[in-house]
Structure 1
Amino acid sequence: MAKGKLREVVKRPLDVRYLTALGWRWLPVCRQARAVTLPAGGFQTNGIPAIAYEALVITSRPEIVGTFGVVTSTHWLASTVGMSILERGGNAFDAAVATGCVLHIVEPNENGPGGDVPIVLWSVAKKRVDVICGQGVAPAAVNASKLRKMGFDIIPGAGHLPAVVPGSFGAWMLLLRDYGTMRPRDVLAPAIAIARNGFVTSPEIASVLNDLSDFFREYWPSSAEVFLPGGRAPRVGTLLCLPAQAETYERIVRECETAGSDREAQIEAARRSWYEGFVAEAIDQFFRQPVMDTSGEAHAGFLTAEDLSRWRATVETPLTIDYKQYRMCKPGPWAQSPVMLQQLALLTGFDIAGMDPLGAEFVHTVQECAKLAFADRDAFYGDPKFADVPIDRLLSGEYNEERRQLVGGEASQELRPGRIDGYGGRIPLRSAGSTNIAHSEIDFARKRDAAKAPSWASFLAESHGDTCHFDIIDRWGNMISATPSGGWMSGSPVVPGLGFCVSVRGQMFLLDERHPNALAPGKRPRTTLTPSLALRDGEPYLAFGTPGGDSQDQWALHAFLRHVDHGMNLQEAVDAPSFHSAHLPSSFYPREWMPGHLAVEAGFPRQTLAELNRRGHQLEIFGRWEHYNSVTMAARDGDVVRASASPRRMKCYAIGR
């Protein structure tokens, strides 16, 4: 769009239906005056000519616009901390470390210090996009055969057995050392203060802890000590303090400053404290002790201090694909990230820009392409250091032209991975609600409804932790997108003396050695974590992402398409009615799938929902903004920076100036 010119933001009938779907009748709202270009004579709405006029497009909050910098994340405290680092002269990468470490504290149901993180960034100094892998690996002492001999056909979703090396801290220290400007004390101080002084307990945290409280007290007492102050779950709106986590970070700061005044020496000392010092020692000792897991039995773990000492975060070249004037940059197939690239390759063959962004044709086309790309994910992806992943073929124009022919007018009810000779593996399918899991399950009685008490395994399947996300752009043009996750409080018991849990990302491995994602020593699980960064005409433009497990590369893609193809600004794009499918097998225990499933928000017009139903989609209809979709986006256009945050969890927050 030429500077100073109004752009066409509506290419369809402008009626109350459209404004309602974007939030016209929902509060709180922010009215943003937006010019709408109408053709001569106006649109025909139900046969009646519409009069050209200036319309108010209603969003849940304003699109943040400034020139200094923006921070947007899944929690307001993390966003304000990140912005405070920018205001103090730090760059986007300094702010990222502080933001990420605060997310570990304030969203313990979603992630923790012992979790994982992939990062994609644009560095002005290096003039390139880099990916930092903060995904830990499987312990050296475990493999698929060993777990099968223990009686498992699927890796448990909780306890010691699915644990992997905690990768977040190593990734933060690499980012700080090679891209940042500050010292460990500078970026850890906000997290320490919040953990020490407390943060407001959200409804989600209170609910999870209420459900887990009996289990914690009986089986995971170290978790009860940290997360059940006074022996009970904290109430919504009360302060939750995590002094043990504060002490862990404070000790790291004390130890790293004994290395002297050199910044890089301090950062390396902090890393050693974690992976070769007291943190690794505490994890090693605790994992020798059996703890209860989803099998209904107590098992010791395989993770050792030596596993931590061997591991290092790494810098990698991103995978990319071009979509119109944009180049999308993503992590490799050790994450699900390339699935967004393949979706874009498939969608290139359709006129997405010409489709109604609230219409059935748009939703159907995008979702049917997603089914194909995700089926390829489940058949072919794995850690490329261990598995030969045909990623060039999967992203090629020729291959996706063939796959695109499978998109018809009706919703597919089949899982249809492509065939590439010599590659891939069988996809295990377990229907939702099935009980063919080859181990017992302990009962998990909820006091409030003992008659309907689920098993512990099924409870975890409904309530496993999720993910956080943030995007940051600074005044120099540095840009970063990261998706911290793992180490959530329902996944594994707190390590005594450290105050946090260890990632159970190993549940995403398969126990079939023939599959690219088979469990093996020192291997990365094929994770769902997937930040995004897009260049426009060769210049860094957009950083974005979301929590949501298997839905991440669905929700984030929809926001991207609505922005670049339908002209919505960043806030409109994340506010627009959401949809996703669980047609793909879940990456999480117990790895169920729901053929033909399509979840949609009720903000879609009724005729859209009726048409999707007619096409055979198995609809699950949520209320307005009831999806977990928490997309955040940050963009730089010349000297102007912009940001947005989803309204759906009532925690996401964008800030800037």
Structure 2
Amino acid sequence: MFTARPELTGTLGMVTASHWLSSQSGMAVLERGGNAFDAAVAAAFVLQVVQPDQNSPGGEVPIVAHHAATDETFVVNGQGPAPAALTGDALRKLGVTHVPQDGHLPACVPAMFGTLTLLLERYGTLRLREVLDYAIGYARSGFPTTPLTSLVIGDAQERFRTHWHSNAEVYLPGGRPPAPSERLTNAPLADTFERVLREAEARTPDRDGQIAGARDIWYRGFVAEAIDKHLSTAVMDSTGTDHRGFLTGQDLAEWQPTIERPASYDYYGYTVIKPQPWSQGPVLLQQLALLKGFDLASMDPTGPDFIHTFVEAAKLAFADREAYYGDPDFTDVPLDQLLSDAYNDERRKLISDVAGADLVPGSVHGVVPPLPRFVHEPLDPGGDHLPLPYIVPGSGRTHGDTVHIDVVDKWGNLASVTPSGGFLWGAPLVPGLGFAVGVRGQIFNLEDGLPNSVEPRKRPRTTLSPSLVLRDGEPYMAFGTPGGDMQDQWPLIFLLNHIHHGMNLQEAIDSPTWNTLHFPSSFMARASSPKLVRIEARVPHATRDELERRGHRIDVAEEWSLGMTSAVTRSADGLMRAGISPRGLLNYASGR
């Protein structure tokens, strides 16, 4: 079949990333002798500089990885928790009816730096300076402004000038938004990284000690002090009112990144690895558990039977996400039952030849849990003064407000990394630091008593969802995409194409894509579109007509507009491959 790019092959290493400067930086690390974890960290820091509308050092970064030397498959918890003072009552006393989407109120502990440095310290080989130099260079000397970054800054420029002056200082050079491809710099961010390195290196000559010291400086030193001071001042947010934040330096000081056990599911000889349900990641596993009962290999991958079956399984799995998922440290998520054969044999009976109209979670131990009120009554933003035409993750306007990295090296290490948060449009930059603190708390539910209800020190149930695959028990693939709620739909289409239809990585990625919007969005205004399927125009007309006959509402998207999936693999003989979507125009694979 036609592919927009070749599937790369090589024996040294492969890096895919949401920006070509990131993948090239990661590949440079592999070529100088670093491993996959060194490369992933370098690539992630570069993305924080060159795609500031989609991530920053103030955001979060779940990671799924495999360490070949110890045969360990693990997750690094990259989602920071809510502040100790953030409660539903505290928010309601401010007169808000939902957690705002921007400003200081939804700020959680910025886990990005701690997570990346823990991965580097525990599993990497290079020093922190060696992997940070690439990002520092681009922040100091400049990088080409992407069309999307230019658009976002242009949309938000009046807010920057009027309310968020620190953003204007960096992102309105000369008092105007940078044009696409114009060189843009972020000197305060370069200064921040360089000061962290200087202070860490002054403490000890030891590599691991310097990395741990840098993390201590970030969460207990000058970075934390600046964040504490900044969040204690009131700033304009989407409610149209100035609010102080709940996040404090003490919240940063008390947080530590952790290595966690992943969730997994066995499917036709493949073991798919995801984070636990503080991420939406297990919803992909639930879809596999449902789809295992269908003969997908006999179906045309762009035909009505395949798409209908996929969409109906997604509806059931995402209904369970709304009903059950939340931080497992605070809520009992019955994941074993949700992935069990008995549970999915019953759920599968709900898939008929017509499109389901309702959001139907399953019953575990005879109990059907309540759904959030917004399932039936989408939130009314009310007087929200959105800072720009609101960026809906996965929409054609943005192609997702997140980035993604996959890396494999010659030793067999694999990493799937999904950085996000700290968006330049989500909150004002911390003065002097050059980045904003992430607003992932926007995903919390202000309604009490539900798995994802807001609570102190609780992780919001993030949409960020990196993926890893073992084949016959051996590490094989890292894959993922930006895209909010679609992060466990678009890559699943790719995976099914690869497993059932023999497509190589690039063929499976380039194949026409779709997603359902049947369930509530994780973002404002939590709206859902029952029976709606967004589908690329490359899907045959006959397929679309038949789906409509079965009761689906079809929204035809542009031909190459849905998903930015990427993947890397390594076979038993050491041959590595990589593929990445041409959608979005920035993402690129590098390999040798």
CA distance in 2, matches of 1:284, 1:422: 43
The secondary structure found in structure 1 opposite 2:427 is coil
- Contact 1:259/1:269 (CA < 8 Å) preserved in 2? yes
- Contact 1:113/1:500 (CA < 8 Å) preserved in 2? yes
Using the TM superposition, give the Cα deviation of residue 422 of structure 1 relative to its aligned residue in structure 2, in angstroms.
5.7
For residues 562-581 of structure 1, the aligned pairs below 5 Å read 562-581=497-516
For residues 275-424 of structure 1, the aligned pairs below 5 Å read 275-420=219-364, 421=366, 424=369
Paired amino acid for 2:274: K
CA distance in 2, matches of 1:618, 1:88: 51
Using the TM superposition, give the Cα deviation of residue 431 of structure 1 relative to its aligned residue in structure 2, in angstroms.
7.4
- Contact 1:388/1:423 (CA < 8 Å) preserved in 2? no
Per-residue CA deviations over 1:60-108 (Å, capped at 9, x if unaligned) read 0100001111001111100000000000000000111101100111111
Out of 410-419 and 593-602, give the one that drifted further.
Answer: 410-419
Using the TM superposition, give the Cα deviation of residue 466 of structure 1 relative to its aligned residue in structure 2, in angstroms.
1.2
Out of 335-344 and 579-588, give the one that drifted further.
Answer: 579-588
The secondary structure found in structure 2 opposite 1:117 is coil
- 2:90 corresponds to: 146
For residues 620-631 of structure 1, the aligned pairs below 5 Å read 620-627=555-562, 629-631=563-565
The secondary structure found in structure 2 opposite 1:655 is strand
- 2:384 corresponds to: 441
- 1:231 corresponds to: 175
C-alpha change, 1:475 and 1:206, in structure 2 (3 Å) is: same
Using the TM superposition, give the Cα deviation of residue 260 of structure 1 relative to its aligned residue in structure 2, in angstroms.
1.8
Q: Which of 616, 632, 641 is the aligned partner of 2:576? A: 641
In the alignment of these two chains, the number of paired residues is 586
Using the TM superposition, give the Cα deviation of residue 430 of structure 1 relative to its aligned residue in structure 2, in angstroms.
6.0
- Contact 1:431/1:594 (CA < 8 Å) preserved in 2? no
- Contact 1:134/1:168 (CA < 8 Å) preserved in 2? yes
- 1:36 corresponds to: none
CA distance in 2, matches of 1:458, 1:366: 31
For residues 111-126 of structure 1, the aligned pairs below 5 Å read 111-126=55-70
Per-residue CA deviations over 1:436-470 (Å, capped at 9, x if unaligned) read 34x5233xxxxxxxxxxxx5486355878711001
- Contact 1:481/1:545 (CA < 8 Å) preserved in 2? yes
Out of 502-511 and 420-429, give the one that drifted further.
Answer: 420-429
CA distance in 2, matches of 1:417, 1:145: 28
- 1:75 corresponds to: 19
CA distance in 1, matches of 2:375, 2:145: 35
Q: Which of 49, 52, 55 is the aligned partner of 1:105? A: 49
- 1:607 corresponds to: 542
Using the TM superposition, give the Cα deviation of residue 415 of structure 1 relative to its aligned residue in structure 2, in angstroms.
0.8
- Contact 2:372/2:447 (CA < 8 Å) preserved in 1? no
- Contact 2:362/2:368 (CA < 8 Å) preserved in 1? no
- Contact 1:156/1:295 (CA < 8 Å) preserved in 2? yes
CA distance in 2, matches of 1:457, 1:303: 25
Give the TM-score, by structure 2 length.
0.97
- 2:105 corresponds to: 161
Per-residue CA deviations over 1:523-570 (Å, capped at 9, x if unaligned) read 100000000001001100110000000000000111000001110000
Structure 1 or 2, whichever has the larger Rg, is 1
For residues 420-499 of structure 1, the aligned pairs below 5 Å read 420=364, 421=366, 424-429=369-374, 436-437=380-381, 439-442=382-385, 456=387, 459=390, 466-499=401-434
C-alpha change, 1:95 and 1:108, in structure 2 (3 Å) is: same
- 1:269 corresponds to: 213
C-alpha change, 1:509 and 1:367, in structure 2 (3 Å) is: same
Per-residue CA deviations over 1:214-235 (Å, capped at 9, x if unaligned) read 1110011111111111111000
CA distance in 2, matches of 1:244, 1:251: 10
CA distance in 2, matches of 1:245, 1:620: 41
CA distance in 2, matches of 1:208, 1:264: 38
CA distance in 2, matches of 1:423, 1:312: 35
Paired amino acid for 2:373: P
CA distance in 2, matches of 1:482, 1:174: 13
1:650 aligns with 2:585: yes
Paired amino acid for 1:73: A
Paired amino acid for 2:262: P
Using the TM superposition, give the Cα deviation of residue 429 of structure 1 relative to its aligned residue in structure 2, in angstroms.
2.5
The secondary structure found in structure 1 opposite 2:489 is helix
Paired amino acid for 1:162: P
For residues 177-188 of structure 1, the aligned pairs below 5 Å read 177-188=121-132
Paired amino acid for 2:384: E
CA distance in 2, matches of 1:424, 1:331: 22
C-alpha change, 1:187 and 1:472, in structure 2 (3 Å) is: same
The secondary structure found in structure 1 opposite 2:498 is helix
Using the TM superposition, give the Cα deviation of residue 637 of structure 1 relative to its aligned residue in structure 2, in angstroms.
1.0
Using the TM superposition, give the Cα deviation of residue 583 of structure 1 relative to its aligned residue in structure 2, in angstroms.
1.0
CA distance in 2, matches of 1:96, 1:370: 30
C-alpha change, 1:431 and 1:218, in structure 2 (3 Å) is: farther
Q: Which of 119, 126, 133 is the aligned partner of 2:77? A: 133
Q: Percent identity?
A: 51
1:245 aligns with 2:189: yes
- Contact 1:380/1:425 (CA < 8 Å) preserved in 2? no
- 2:488 corresponds to: 553
Paired amino acid for 2:564: S
The secondary structure found in structure 2 opposite 1:368 is helix
The secondary structure found in structure 1 opposite 2:579 is strand
- 2:454 corresponds to: 519
Paired amino acid for 2:537: A
Using the TM superposition, give the Cα deviation of residue 412 of structure 1 relative to its aligned residue in structure 2, in angstroms.
1.3
Out of 523-532 and 143-152, give the one that drifted further.
Answer: 143-152
C-alpha change, 1:293 and 1:431, in structure 2 (3 Å) is: farther
- 1:632 corresponds to: 566
The secondary structure found in structure 1 opposite 2:73 is strand
The secondary structure found in structure 1 opposite 2:278 is coil
Paired amino acid for 1:427: P
Paired amino acid for 1:632: S
Using the TM superposition, give the Cα deviation of residue 513 of structure 1 relative to its aligned residue in structure 2, in angstroms.
2.1
Using the TM superposition, give the Cα deviation of residue 348 of structure 1 relative to its aligned residue in structure 2, in angstroms.
0.4
| Root mean square deviation of aligned Cα | 1.5
CA distance in 2, matches of 1:626, 1:322: 31
Paired amino acid for 2:504: N
CA distance in 2, matches of 1:477, 1:58: 30
- Contact 1:441/1:456 (CA < 8 Å) preserved in 2? no
Paired amino acid for 1:603: R
C-alpha change, 1:515 and 1:435, in structure 2 (3 Å) is: closer
Using the TM superposition, give the Cα deviation of residue 419 of structure 1 relative to its aligned residue in structure 2, in angstroms.
2.2
- Contact 1:157/1:590 (CA < 8 Å) preserved in 2? no
- 1:452 corresponds to: none
- Contact 1:425/1:516 (CA < 8 Å) preserved in 2? no
Q: Which of 507, 512, 517 is the aligned partner of 2:442? A: 507
C-alpha change, 1:435 and 1:470, in structure 2 (3 Å) is: closer
Paired amino acid for 1:331: P
CA distance in 2, matches of 1:271, 1:201: 29
